[in-house]
Amino acid sequence: MICVCIGRGRHKHVLAEHRYLAEQGVRLVELRLDYIRSRPNIPRLLRDRPCPCIVTCRREVDGGQWSDTEENRRLVLRTAIAEGVDYIDLEEDIAGEIPRFGKTKRLISYHNFRETPEDLASIHERLCGLDPDIVKLATMAHRPSDNLKMFRLMEEAQVPTIGICMGEIGAPTRILAGKFGAPFTYATFQHERKLAPGQMSFKQMRDVYRYDALDKDTEIYGVIADPVAQNLGPIVHSAGFRTLKMNKVFIPFRVPRDDLAWFLEASRDLGIRGLSVTVPHKEEVVRYLSQADGAVRGIGAANTVIFEEGALVGYNTDFPAFNEALDTVFPNYEKGQSLWGKTVLVLGAGGVAKSILYALRRRDAEVTVSARSFERAASLAERFKCRPIQWFDRVRVEPDILINATPIGMHPNLDETPFDRSHLQRGMIVFDTVFHPEQTLLIKHGREQSCRVITGVDMFVRQAAFQFEHLTGQSVPHEVLRAELKRATGAAKL
Ligand SMILES: NC(=O)c1ccc[n+]([C@@H]2O[C@H](COP(=O)([O-])OP(=O)(O)OC[C@H]3O[C@@H](n4cnc5c(N)ncnc54)[C@H](OP(=O)(O)O)[C@@H]3O)[C@@H](O)[C@H]2O)c1
């Protein structure tokens, strides 16, 4: 069950959100009375409530907004109990002074906005001694190992326990709480209105992660990155799981660089089946692989890893995705056919440029690479046997194929392009790896100049589809991924 938190300044807004959420099928809400700017009118909030609720009134020290006296706060809590609220949230230090009464269930809570303490188990034991129906611990996560502590605690608890790690790193505990035995998790009414660090919206929990469908048999997949919040992996892969009715979930794992080795080891413990890997781990992860496909070895980076019995297997799906997307403009060619005699200009010398240069090299194209750091371009040129040029010289090349492997033109810099329009020639192939938006300025100029264009979405969808296949052994229709990407990026013309 997802409990949605309502934190509004006026009674009428609290009531309206409560009603709306119940209509949306929400079965439990938390009324944060500390957000109400006037004295809370509890009978008004609880009378005719459209679905059960928890009453919570947090002090500032516990992350709340209550600015009146402690005496009045306790009066509010006691009144809610007297009015027969379904659940009352009581912090550890006051739980002993507010006894059980009527049918109101007691949720005994502990908050720590600084850290996830080592002695989580003994804190939990203390809370269990305060006559709880449910114990709730919310602590700040700084490392992925904090999540693991919380999962173990929930799994082993004898009293129903909700263990939430706050912050971006803690997101997995919010999504997987139910799988590890928690009676419910918390979410916000809207994405922009977080009441605690790292909270996700009710819609995200319900529609992307399908929280209510997760159970102890749900297989865990995910993406490791740092930061991870903007990563589209959870959105597109979850759409694939939904479409193919798979009992799988795709989690955003924020893993700092230093935690990679630990995380890969702990993944087996957690039963994680496979991971999408992105910045900053794509290259580093290669040292931990026991098997790797040819592209991983050639590029020196993996974007997909699978945990097989006793082995960690790595793949690079940017490489086949680039090749397949490029082939769409050569309808009469065989797939992956040689590009002998074609001149290609690659802009950028980062991660995606490496996969592209590796692919082009294998197809015998005549490649020039240009980046704002000439040293980086020269180093890639040496490795992939091509020609580096200075960034300011890039428009002097008259390539058959132009590839943008920089983020220039990416949202929100929509009016930027890496290659002046006047240098685009009719018939040239223009391939932009930027996928948000799909219609970048470079792509628009390319179309206007009668170039053949390939978009970042064409490549993104393919790399995600290859990844999905490695992770699950099944294929997902490209249209599903494309539609989901379009919804997520909100672009008008994807
Ligand atoms: N469609 C797909 O499937 C797909 C897959 C992966 C990536 N991408 C896209 O590809 C782009 C690059 O990704 P990446 O992972 O390769 O990133 P990266 O490793 O950070 O490399 C980016 C490259 O672009 C250069 N660059 C950045 N800003 C620039 C600017 N304003 N002017 C000139 N050069 C600039 C960087 O130069 P410095 O080294 O000097 O910073 C670097 O060479 C991103 O837009 C990403 O969304 C698309």
Domains of the chain: 2-216 (3.20.20.70), 241-316+461-486 (3.40.50.10860), 330-454 (3.40.50.720)
* Torsion-angle region of 181 (φ positive above 0: left; ψ -120 to 50: alpha; else: beta): left
β-strand partners of 32: 56
**Residue 332: per-residue pLDDT:** 75
Please tell me if the CB atom of residue 280 comes closer than 6 angstroms to any atom of ligand 1. no
> Which of 361, 350, 442 is CA-nearest to residue 402?
442
Binning pLDDT at 50, 70 and 90, where does residue 193 land?
A: low
Instruction: Kindly report the protein residue whose alpha carbon is nearest to atom 6 of ligand 1.
Output: 352
Please tell me if the CB atom of residue 460 comes closer than 6 angstroms to any atom of ligand 1. yes
DSSP assignment letter at 170: G
Cβ pair 276, 304 in contact under 8 A: yes
| 318 part of the active site | yes
Instruction: Considering the candidates 89, 293, 318, 432, report the single residue annotated as catalytic.
Output: 318
Centre of ligand 1 from the C-alpha of residue 350, in Å:
6
Cβ pair 137, 124 in contact under 8 A: yes
**Residue 198: per-residue pLDDT:** 75
Please tell me if the CB atom of residue 50 comes closer than 6 angstroms to any atom of ligand 1. no
Please tell me if the CB atom of residue 28 comes closer than 6 angstroms to any atom of ligand 1. no
| 136 part of the active site | yes
* Residue 142: burial class (beta carbons within 10 Å; 0-12, 13-18, 19+): middle
Binning pLDDT at 50, 70 and 90, where does residue 493 land?
A: very low
CA torsion 111-257-355-398 (nearest 10°) is: 90
pLDDT in tens, 424-482: 999 999 999 999 999 999 999 999 999 999 999 999 999 999 999 999 999 999 999 99
pLDDT in tens, 272-290: 999 999 999 999 999 999 9
Residue at 357: amino acid letter: L
Cβ pair 398, 344 in contact under 8 A: no
> Which of 193, 219, 189 is CA-nearest to residue 206?
189
Binning pLDDT at 50, 70 and 90, where does residue 195 land?
A: low
Instruction: Kindly report the protein residue whose alpha carbon is nearest to atom 44 of ligand 1.
Output: 407
Q: Which two tokens stand for residue 5?
A: 């938190």
Please tell me if the CB atom of residue 348 comes closer than 6 angstroms to any atom of ligand 1. yes
Q: In what order do the strands lie in the sheet with 366-370?
A: 387-389, 366-370, 343-347, 401-404, 429-432, 452-454
Binning pLDDT at 50, 70 and 90, where does residue 491 land?
A: very low
pTM summary value: 0.92
Centre of ligand 1 from the C-alpha of residue 433, in Å:
9
Give the mutation target among 223, 279, 380, 433 for probing the ligand 1 site: most ligand atoms within 8 A of CB: 433
pLDDT in tens, 123-165: 999 999 999 999 999 999 999 999 999 999 999 999 999 999 9
Cα–Cα distance for residue pair 96/108, rounded to 1 Å: 10
Please tell me if the CB atom of residue 372 comes closer than 6 angstroms to any atom of ligand 1. yes
Cβ pair 130, 108 in contact under 8 A: yes
Please tell me if the CB atom of residue 406 comes closer than 6 angstroms to any atom of ligand 1. yes
Peptide bond preceding 399 in cis form (omega within 30 of 0)? no
Cα–Cα distance for residue pair 375/348, rounded to 1 Å: 12
pLDDT in tens, 39-81: 999 999 999 999 999 999 999 988 899 999 999 999 999 999 9
Cα–Cα distance for residue pair 217/323, rounded to 1 Å: 37
Binning pLDDT at 50, 70 and 90, where does residue 192 land?
A: low
Cα–Cα distance for residue pair 17/4, rounded to 1 Å: 10
